[in-house]
Amino acid sequence: MAPPMIDPALFEQLKTKIEEDTSVRKELDQILDDLNQHVSFTQGLLSRIHSTPRAKYATLLGQVEGGIKKEIETVGKLSAFASQYPYYKYNHKWTRMVQDAIATVILCAWLGGMATDSKPGEVGRLLTLENIGQAFNVPVNLKDRDAFHITVEEYLLGLIAVIDDLSRLAVNSVTLGDTAMAVQISGFIKDLHAGFQVLNLKNDILRKRVDSIKYAVKKVEDVVYDLSLRNLIPAQEAQ
Partner 1 sequence: MSGFKRDWSGNAKRRDGPKPAAKQVVRNAYTPMFESLRNELDEHHDRRERIVKASRDITALSKKIIFSLQRVRKIESQLPANIQSEVDSRLAEIAKLLATIAPEIQGINRYRYARSLMCLEELVEALTFAHYLRTQTLISHAELDPTIEDLTRKGTVPEDETMADASDTAGTAEKPAPPPTAEPPTVSLTQDDYLYGVFDLTGEMMRFATTSTALTGTMAGGGSGEGDGGDDEPRTIVHDMHELGTLFEMLPVGSGNRFQWEKKLEVTRQSVQKVERLGYDRIIRGSERPKGWIPDLSADQGQGDELE
H-state helical runs in the chain: 8-47, 57-82, 87-110, 129-136, 152-175, 179-197, 205-211, 213-229
User: 214-233 mask for partner 1 (x: CB under 8 A)?
Assistant: --------------------
Provide the 10 A C-beta neighbour count for residue 87: 15
Beta bridge partners of 140: 150
Shortest Cβ 58–partner 1 spacing (Å): 25
Contacts of residue 60, Cβ cutoff 8 Å, sequence gap at least 6: 45, 48, 49, 52
Look at residues 16, 161, 151 and name the one whose alpha carbon lies nearest to residue 82: 151
Contacts of residue 162, Cβ cutoff 8 Å, sequence gap at least 6: 103, 106, 107, 110
> Contact 100/43 with Cβ under 8 angstroms?
yes
Shortest Cβ 55–partner 1 spacing (Å): 27
55 binds partner 1, rule: CB under 8 A:
no
120 binds partner 1, rule: CB under 8 A:
no
Exactly one of 49, 101, 103, 129 binds partner 1 (CB under 8 A); that residue is 129
205 binds partner 1, rule: CB under 8 A:
no
Residue 202 or 230 with smaller CB distance to partner 1 = 202
4 binds partner 1, rule: CB under 8 A:
yes
Residue 166 or 174 with smaller CB distance to partner 1 = 166
Q: What is the DSSP letter of 176?
A: T
Shortest Cβ 21–partner 1 spacing (Å): 6
Question: Considering only residues 28-47, where is the footprint of partner 1 by CB under 8 A?
Answer: none
Interface residues with partner 1 (CB under 8 A) are 1-7, 9-11, 13-15, 17-19, 21-22, 25, 86-89, 91, 126, 128-129, 141-147, 152-153, 155-156, 191-192, 194-202, 206
